[in-house]
Structure 1
């Protein structure tokens, strides 16, 4: 059994403590995210997994973490699932604590969802992206219609030999008779959290859909899978601009089963190819927000120039206060409307609703639109199709409405934010129609 290294803790902006470990001393930093539950110290008791860690640690400085809500990290209330950007903030906090400026992000199975979002939102911190065995849930495919209906069975079998054996038979069939692996998986489930906490992590897996942001990933990307595994990936080389697909022999989905050397060799070759490569920093994933005051001309005519200017100043103060609270960035103020950008869609939605309600207390109504997509950075501002779509969504909103695109809604699935489908809308100047949703609750 390999001796586990020291576990340290990083503190996120919302006060969550995230456990992490750093091993190895290679020339590049490597972030490794396992599928959906983990235990930093227990992982070293699985010989093959420990060998993989040592191998990666010889290629670079290996950084691993336990997600919030599991194992050695702080827990959350299972009835209130964390947002995607909160989970990505965990990665940022760990990298900051570890003194890491840029990483090659390797996501195993569903760990690839968080790594994909991180690469799209923070290209300056991502030297490259590796997706090993990406699962269909990441792309909104094969999602159970009624997740809640599976809960009783999940809770009954959590951390039992029965459930662990099913995991091995499904993901690691070549090790189906390995009782040590079955026992290790059973113990990892038990150590990672209660049955309720385990189900919350599973719900995050099946609800997190990053298909809409894949075209916004502009870092070199390698997709690796075993050619006879249950879940071949979709054609990600047509969805991610700089992606290369590599199939290696085998039928096991789990990296710790079958011959793990070919996948690791592909990882290492990819990492070596990144040497000296400069990142593309002119494009980034952002959530844009557009606000517009309803009936501003009528307000100005009724109040007169001086009172209207005073009211407008109070409006601007409210918007800027909430932008600061929700980590938004003011891009432009055209007349009486704001154009702002956020690094996470849930924060943008909560900011929009808070702004709408606060401005209502001033006797003003707002139309607000939100969209998440690839934006081009230009002289401190943003431009591109995503910006245009966000502006048109705002123009489509009725007084008092906060409208979002389907991309935004998919990215915050499971966050507790409620939506009402308002149907498919044609947006002026946008080639394709978009399904829009009204924010009903936060």
Structure 2
């Protein structure tokens, strides 16, 4: 590992580092590694990216060189953008896709843990990754980003839907031109060189149709439920005059991530990231190179799955001990194999069911749906319940309100039904999974009311 790392560092200064590819389950992810600092820093930037073209603007090169002075920088094109493989025809990536992209790149460069720098639309994915994999996250830096964009009754700082439609129209009209600078960096919008570079960078990141679909998807993101689960040291940097991702959005993030520190910076520019960036880079360098708390490894964000055989007591009495045991073993083989297939962790068996954890909510939902379908070949039905939240490891077991809540969601499900909490539904936006609203319920032993959704199709 040290020899490989040294070879990569020695190429710094001889031009743009050559892109490489890491292999994910369903495609290749393009990445670059450069810099000689003692710590790893992963850049998770705007969804529209091209790691080769970014080296064509001198200001961007200076931005990257500054980061490389104090860290080994890891950057990548998310699937669906730049040099990385596209997603399936007509489909959109998900936060889970992007989180997997980051994970396979970290593995490819032998990075055991890194500081995550989530910029603009990269922020929500960086938050998910930090909460789900604290053992691989040294710290989190969030720059001009958001937990949710659209306004909601409990989120008045969001963008009203009519305004969002106008912004979408502006993006559509200006995609691939320097005209976007009027929205993203108004103070330098008349810079002809910057206009040419931005237009080329955008055109080689995504097509107009793909960009429009992506922006529509970004408008639906909501990771507010993730914020309390982030346990790593967090710095929130936000331009005070940012007219797109407004300063209240940065304040909201800082208020809801435990121990996060907010620094409000002067200026309005947020894209490209190198515009008016010196003070921002000063803050990042001080944060990354200073003392920091050790990440808490025993608490992570996870999607909890409970399953249970419906009517198992009556079935066991009717079949007798031996036949019931044979049926139970066949059921356990099906459930266990599906959990492994979808990269879940089998925590324990719960009498006639299973408890499993997943770091990706969409995989958890698809796993539960496949289990419900597969066990019908045995002449039985299962019910399943899922919730995403913070869990605490206690030896080989897990605890926490998320575990309790997932069990209560399962208890509300009927035969062959997969029920999820509203939190799970919010976290799989863009995955193609369809839901039917099953109304608001009180769950025994859990305060408040909870809206539940039945999985109607997995796309």
Q: Distance in 1 between matches of 2:107 and 2:119?
A: 22
Matched, 1:420 2:436: yes
Paired position in structure 2 for 1:261: 278
Summarize deviations over 1:322-346 as a string: whole Å, max 9, x none: 1111111111112101111111111
Trace 1:223-234 onto structure 2 (pairs within 5 A).
223-230=236-243, 231-232=246-247, 233-234=250-251
User: Mind listing any 5+ residue stretches in structure 2 that lack a counterpart?
Assistant: 1-12, 152-157
- Is 1:47 matched with 2:63? no
Structure 1 Cα separation of the partners of residues 453 and 294 of structure 2: 39
Tell me the residue number matched to 2:23: 11
**Following superposition of structure 1 onto structure 2, how do residues 91-130 of structure 1 map, counting pairs within 5 Å?**
91-130=102-141
Instruction: Give a deviation string over 1:292-320, Cα, whole Å, max 9, x none.
Output: 11111111111111111111111111101
Deviations 1:181-220 (A, max 9, x none): 1111111121113223323332342233211111110000
Q: Write the deviation string for residues 348-388 of structure 1: whole angstroms up to 9, x where unpaired.
A: 11110000011122111111100010000111221101000
| 2:197 matches 1:180 | no
Distance 1:88 1:145, change over 3 A: farther
- 2:48·2:205 contact (CA, 8 Å) conserved in 1? yes
Which of the numbers 271, 292, 302 marks the counterpart of 2:288?
271
CA distance in 1 between counterparts of 2:343 and 2:414 reads 26
Query: CA offset at residue 138 of structure 1?
Result: 5.6
Aligned to 1:283: 299
Q: Which structure 2 residues correspond to residues 1-400 of structure 1 after superposition, within 5 A?
A: 3-12=15-24, 14-135=25-146, 137=148, 141-142=158-159, 144=161, 157-159=174-176, 161=177, 164-165=178-179, 167-230=180-243, 231-232=246-247, 233-254=250-271, 256=273, 258-274=275-291, 277-400=293-416
Report how far residue 394 of structure 1 moved.
0.4
Which moved further from structure 2: 144-153 or 90-99?
144-153
What are the superposed Cα offsets for residues 232-265 of structure 1, whole Å, 9 maximum, x if unpaired? 1243233111211111122223364653111111
User: Are the aligned partners of 1:136 and 1:142 in contact in 2 as well (CA < 8 Å)?
Assistant: no
CA contact (8 A) 1:36 1:202 kept: no
User: SS at the partner of 2:235?
Assistant: strand
2: distance between equivalents of 1:202 and 1:273? 36
1:340 is paired with a residue of what secondary structure?
A: strand
**Helix, strand or coil at the partner of 2:219:** helix
How much does 1:95 deviate? 0.9
> Which stretch of the first structure deviates more once superposed, 361-370 or 139-148?
139-148
Q: What secondary structure, in the 3-state scheme, does the structure 1 residue paired with 2:32 have?
A: strand
Aligned partners of 1:389, 1:173: CA distance in 2, in Å?
47
Moved more, 74-83 or 142-151: 142-151
**TM-score, normalisation: structure 1:** 0.93
Structure 2 Cα separation of the partners of residues 247 and 153 of structure 1: 27
Instruction: Specify whether residues 274 and 125 from structure 1 end up closer, same or farther in structure 2 by C-alpha distance, changes over 3 A only.
Output: farther
Q: Hey, what's the Cα distance between the residues in 2 that align with 1:314 and 1:149?
A: 55
* Distance in 1 between residues matched to 2:323 and 2:217, nearest whole Å: 49
In structure 2, C-alpha distance between the alignment counterparts of 1:249 and 1:194, rounded to whole Å: 33
Greater CA drift, 192-201 or 384-393: 192-201
Asked if structure 2 preserves the Cα contact closer than 8 Å seen for 1:117 and 1:213, the reply is yes
| Separation in structure 1 between the aligned mates of residue 242 and residue 196 of structure 2, nearest angstrom | 23
TM (normalized to structure 2)?
Answer: 0.90
Q: Map Cα deviations across residues 110-144 of structure 1 (whole Å, 9 max, x no partner).
A: 11111111100110010000000113646874374
Q: Which residue of 1 aligns with 2:7?
A: none
Give SS of 1:361's match. helix
**Alpha carbons 1:113, 1:138 under 8 Å: kept:** no
Matched-pair contact (CA < 8 Å) for 2:421–2:452: yes
Q: CA deviation at 1:278?
A: 2.1
RMSD of aligned alpha carbons: 2.2
User: CA–CA distance in 1 between the matches of 2:252 and 2:171?
Assistant: 32
C-alpha distance after superposition, 1:140-172 (max 9, x if no partner):
74374799999888666532x3xx31x201110
- Alpha-carbon distance between aligned partners in 2 of 1:139 and 1:60, rounded to the nearest angstrom: 35
Q: Is the 8 A contact 2:95 2:428 kept in 1?
A: yes
